[in-house]
């Protein structure tokens, strides 16, 4: 059985079939939509250039999909999952891929699901201005779409924009592009808070408001349904080992999980690769440990940024190709500053080559 209905779940189910598993696979998803990919939500879907169907994730044949139903409880001794509709599903193997939800600070919009994206897109159609709380990749991608729609846009965050995800060098580049496009940044000394009405944001006591307010302040793993199961749960999610195993016959993948002793990686490629690896562990418990290959991308303000490996916060990269003025670059951080990192900006270098450069 697979709990969850997005990338990690689909990747695990498809990998089970691809590896020759011909038993029953049931996928239980809280969403009423068939599986889709989330990165387009803050890009093509929000901008309106693509419709919802463009984000569909292909599912292998013979997988039973139960939509609009949550996994609500787990009995590991009886090997049964209790569902929100009162049903119970027995399992021989279980994949936990229930992902994460947007962290909500107050009222207004968040962006995690297709319905969120369509509702925000409609609201932007009627808006005169926008306030975004959170200057990480998601907040900045939303800001980019808003500016492309010529909406005055303010981004508020007490942390330097994009710094934690891109390091100083790349975040400076991206923030410069955002400022040139017209983003107004507000950087309070303390985290911004919402007023009780949910429609006003306070930044160091200063009241900020806009027609549309969006919170893009991180996510929370959907693991509450595992409470009382005996599995190890932390604020970062279900704890799994190097083979993505949480217990005998139970594996986990994607945004819902964290590898013991490692940082959480709530990223698209990690969910895809963990889904595959978790499925192989279910079929053959002695498979080699999964080797994470950190990779992520973001698209904003005319920049397509791809990063392989953890970006060192403050180190100067070597320029492998291009020039900052052209905004088409390949960068590499020399060994010693970080275990292998390379990045490209508006450059056609294939990911495999970027990974080799990072290594």
Residues near ligand FAD (CB under 6 A) are 3-9, 28-31, 38-39, 41-42, 70-71, 97-100, 111-112, 138, 222, 225, 254-256, 266-269, 271, 296-298
Q: Are 260 and 244 in contact (CB under 8 A)?
A: no
- Closest CB to ligand FAD among residues 4, 161: 4
87/204 with CB nearer ligand FAD:
87
Beta bridge partners of 186: 156
| Shortest CB 267 distance to ligand FAD, Å | 4
* Distance of closest approach, residue 326 Cβ to ligand FAD, in angstroms: 23
Tokens, residue 86: 């009162």
In this complex, which beta carbon is closest to ligand FAD, that of residue 72 or of residue 201? 72
CA–CA dist 150, 143 (Å, integer) = 10
- Minimum distance, C-beta of residue 272 to ligand FAD, in the bound complex (Å): 8
Considering the complex, state which of residue 30 and residue 277 has its C-beta at the smaller distance from ligand FAD. Answer: 30
Answer whether 161's CB lies under 8 Å from 173's CB: no
User: In terms of CB distance, is 106 or 237 closer to ligand FAD?
Assistant: 237
Helices 7-18 and 268-283: crossing angle in degrees, nearest 10, is 40
In whole angstroms, the minimum distance from the beta carbon of 8 to ligand FAD comes to 4
CA 51 to chain centre: 20
Strands 250-252 and 94-96: parallel
Tokens of 326: 């052209």
* Other CB atoms within 10 Å distance of the CB of residue 236: 17
Within 10 angstroms of residue 61's Cβ, the number of other Cβ atoms is 6
Q: In the complex, what is the shortest distance from the CB of residue 25 to ligand FAD, in angstroms, rounded to a whole number?
A: 14
Q: Looking at beta carbons only, is 30 or 213 nearer to ligand FAD?
A: 30
User: Shortest approach of ligand FAD to residue 77 CB, angstroms?
Assistant: 20
């Amino acid at each position: 059985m697979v709990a969850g209905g997005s990338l990690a779940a689909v990747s695990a189910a498809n990998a089970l079939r691809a590896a020759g598993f011909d038993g029953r696979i049931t996928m239980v998803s809280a969403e009423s939509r068939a599986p889709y990919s989330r990165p387009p939500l803050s890009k093509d879907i929000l901008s309106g250039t693509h419709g919802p169907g463009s984000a569909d994730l292909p599912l292998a044949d013979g997988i039973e999909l139960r939509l609009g139903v949550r996994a609500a409880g787990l009995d590991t001794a009886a090997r049964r999952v209790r569902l929100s509709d009162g049903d119970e599903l027995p399992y021989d193997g279980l994949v936990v891929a229930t992902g994460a939800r947007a962290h909500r600070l107050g009222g207004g919009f968040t962006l995690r699901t297709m319905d969120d994206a369509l509702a925000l897109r409609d609201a932007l159609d009627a808006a005169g201005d926008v306030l975004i709380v959170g200057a990480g990749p998601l907040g900045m991608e939303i800001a980019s779409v808003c500016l492309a729609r010529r909406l005055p846009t303010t981004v508020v965050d007490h942390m330097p924009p994009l710094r934690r995800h891109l390091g100083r060098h790349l975040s400076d580049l991206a923030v410069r592009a955002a400022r040139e496009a017209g983003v107004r940044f507000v950087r309070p000394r303390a985290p911004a808070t919402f007023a009780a009405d949910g429609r006003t944001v306070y930044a160091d006591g200063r009241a900020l408001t806009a027609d549309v307010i969006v919170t893009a302040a991180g996510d929370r793993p959907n693991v509450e349904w595992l409470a009382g199961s005996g599995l190890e749960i932390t604020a970062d999610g279900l704890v799994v080992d190097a083979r993505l195993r949480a217990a005998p016959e139970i594996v986990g993948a994607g945004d819902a999980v964290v590898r013991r002793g490692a940082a959480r990686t709530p990223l698209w490629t990690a969910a895809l690769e963990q889904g595959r690896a978790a499925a192989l562990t279910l079929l053959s418990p002695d498979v080699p440990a999964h080797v994470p290959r950190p990779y992520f991308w973001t698209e904003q303000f005319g920049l397509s940024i791809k990063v392989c490996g953890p970006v060192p916060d403050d180190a100067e990269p070597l320029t492998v190709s291009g020039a900052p003025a052209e905004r088409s670059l390949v960068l590499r951080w020399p060994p010693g500053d970080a275990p292998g990192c390379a990045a490209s900006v508006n450059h056609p270098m294939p990911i495999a080559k970027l990974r080799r450069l990072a290594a």
